[in-house]
């Protein structure tokens, strides 16, 4: 079976996989990074969102072998030690979660949204840009508030 | 998903060789192919990932046309300043595909090779009279889409780029399926030196031209010129989202909106 090597959350990792092994399987089953969730497995729900070379992707629809040599960041790699990433902190502060299952994907997608759309986001933009992430608790109201606050906080954090 | 051999060639020549093998298929962004493999709707002995072929990426102007590499993502097309100035209808179309995470990964070449009846890009390829460039030949947009998930591509052939002639005016409007964002009906309208072209996706088994609307808009490129126009529902798609009658109505309405969008 082929082997694959990549960087995950800043660490060099490698493993033996099949051609059909998905990135999310490699993360969860090989590396035991279970923060990345599988909700639908049909690229609808966005629970499996990670950053691949800095860009948000649904890791249930990316082959592990396609990520050879790439840099992957998962929800486990977002915080700086014990200090939460500003987007994580905003989700905590605004209670942007109910059951929490979609939350890792929401946060990774929100950080990608800031990359694409900047730090000053209105509610309409956030709702449109979150189309790839589904919360089955339907707790979108606080998620939108959290993304808005988190995006603004990322600007301050960067400055 | 059944297992397969995976290859990611660094050079075009290697990709061509690999694609010559029996039951090998190109893998672009994977946004349609991987879900189809997961559902076991498809089975291949090998996938040839085109992700390392940098000459299949990018957007450039070539005289009176825009040439877009097959591996250019929807997100790149949507955000392209070059296209925003020269062919903004294509940016609007790309921005409406799937969701942001899908657009980060999905590609122009992958979309048209798959030829999903509800995909957006086929409407632009047919509506602009684009040319599909492959590793073997050039295929006229009018001859590319041959049926439901069917194209003129041969086994072992891969799309390398699409050349979109620049229109005088163009617009795209779609009525989207709210969960999948696929087009229940999408219409691309272009006013070109050769006349008006109106291409419809989502409504039929494959993208098609709406001749009556083309005639009406050639006489006068104005939404009012479509007044009273209808399309027969025979042969159009019917599913839980929309019946053929409703789609026929949507075709005319989306044509009207596309003309307005074209300005």
Beta bridge partners of A63: A22
ipTM score over 0.90, yes or no: yes
Largest distance between two CA atoms of chain B? 55
Look over chain B and give the mean of its residue pLDDT values, rounded to a whole number: 97
State the nearest Cα–Cα gap between A61 and chain B, in angstroms: 6
Nearest residue, CB atoms, A20 vs list B1, B8, B49? B1
Query: Which among A57, A66, A128, A133 is the top mutation candidate for probing chain B, defined by the most B β-carbons within 10 Å of its own β-carbon?
Result: A66
Provide the CATH number for the domain around residue B158: 3.30.465.10
State the nearest Cα–Cα gap between B38 and chain A, in angstroms: 8
Q: Is the pLDDT of residue A103 over 80?
A: yes
Q: Is the pLDDT of residue A159 over 70?
A: no
Give mean pLDDT, residues B17-35: 97
Residue B173: what are its φ and ψ, rounded to 5°? -140, 140
Q: Is the pLDDT of residue A109 over 80?
A: yes
Check CB contact under 8 Å for A112 and B100: yes
Number of domains composing chain B: 1
Selecting from 1.10.2020.10, 1.10.150.120, 3.80.30.20, 3.40.50.261, what CATH number does the domain A86-158 have? Answer: 1.10.150.120
Which of helix, strand or coil describes residue B133? Answer: strand
Q: Is the pLDDT of residue A158 over 80?
A: no
Give the Å distances, CA to CA, from B211 to B173, B230, B254.
Answer: 18, 11, 15
Q: Is the pLDDT of residue B192 over 70?
A: yes
Domain that residue B186 falls in: 5-38+57-262
Give the Å distances, CA to CA, from B234 to B175, B201, B242.
Answer: 20, 15, 14
Give mean pLDDT, residues B201-213: 98
Residues of B in contact with A46 (CB under 8 A): 99, 101
Q: What residues 17-36 of chain A have any CB closer than 8 A to a CB of chain B?
A: 18-20
Is CATH 3.40.50.620 correct for A3-77?
Answer: no
Which of helix, strand or coil describes residue B71? Answer: coil
pLDDT digits (tens, 9 = 90+) for B122-132: 999 999 999 99
Residue among B93, B137, B138, B109 nearest B32 (CA):
B109
Chain B: residue whose CA lies nearest to A53: B104
pLDDT digits (tens, 9 = 90+) for A127-140: 999 999 999 999 99
Q: Is the pLDDT of residue B167 over 90?
A: yes
């Amino acid at each position: 079976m082929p082997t694959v090597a990549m960087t995950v959350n800043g660490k060099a990792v490698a493993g033996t996989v099949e051609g059909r092994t998905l990135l999310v399987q490699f993360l969860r089953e090989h590396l035991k990074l279970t923060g990345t969730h599988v909700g639908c497995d049909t690229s609808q729900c966005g629970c499996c969102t990670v950053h691949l070379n800095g860009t948000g992707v649904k890791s249930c629809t990316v082959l592990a072998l396609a990520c050879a040599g790439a840099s992957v960041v998962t929800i486990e790699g977002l915080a700086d030690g014990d200090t939460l990433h500003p987007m994580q902190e905003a989700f905590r502060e605004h209670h942007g979660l109910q059951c929490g299952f979609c939350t890792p994907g929401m946060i990774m997608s929100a950080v990608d949204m800031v990359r694409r759309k900047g730090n000053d986001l209105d509610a309409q933009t956030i709702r449109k840009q979150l189309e790839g992430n589904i919360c089955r608790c339907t707790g979108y109201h606080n998620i939108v508030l959290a993304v808005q606050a988190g995006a603004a906080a990322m600007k301050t954090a960067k400055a | 998903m059944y297992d397969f051999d995976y290859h990611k060639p660094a050079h075009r020549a290697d990709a061509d060789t690999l694609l010559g093998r029996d039951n090998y298929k190109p893998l672009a962004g994977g946004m349609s192919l991987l879900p189809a493999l997961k559902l076991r709707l498809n089975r291949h002995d090998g996938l040839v990932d085109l992700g390392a072929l940098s000459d299949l990426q990018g957007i450039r102007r070539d005289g009176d046309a825009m040439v877009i590499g097959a591996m250019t993502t929807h997100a790149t097309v949507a955000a392209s300043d070059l296209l925003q100035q020269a062919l903004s209808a294509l940016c609007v179309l790309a921005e409406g595909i799937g969701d942001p995470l899908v657009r980060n990964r999905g590609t122009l070449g992958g979309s048209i090779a798959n030829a999903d009846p509800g995909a957006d890009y086929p409407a632009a390829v047919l509506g602009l009279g684009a040319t599909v460039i492959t590793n073997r030949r050039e295929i006229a947009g009018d001859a590319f889409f041959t049926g439901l998930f069917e194209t003129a591509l041969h086994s072992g052939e891969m799309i390398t780029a699409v050349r979109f002639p620049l229109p005088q005016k163009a617009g795209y409007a779609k009525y989207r399926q709210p969960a999948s964002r696929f087009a229940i009906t999408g219409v691309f309208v272009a006013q070109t030196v050769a006349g008006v072209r109106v291409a419809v996706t989502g409504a039929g088994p494959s993208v098609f031209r709406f001749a009556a609307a083309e005639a009406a808009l050639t006489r006068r490129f104005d939404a009012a010129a479509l007044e009273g126009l209808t399309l027969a529902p025979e042969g159009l798609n019917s599913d839980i989202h929309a019946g053929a009658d409703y789609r026929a109505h949507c075709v005319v309405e989306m044509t009207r909106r596309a003309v307005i969008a074209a300005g």
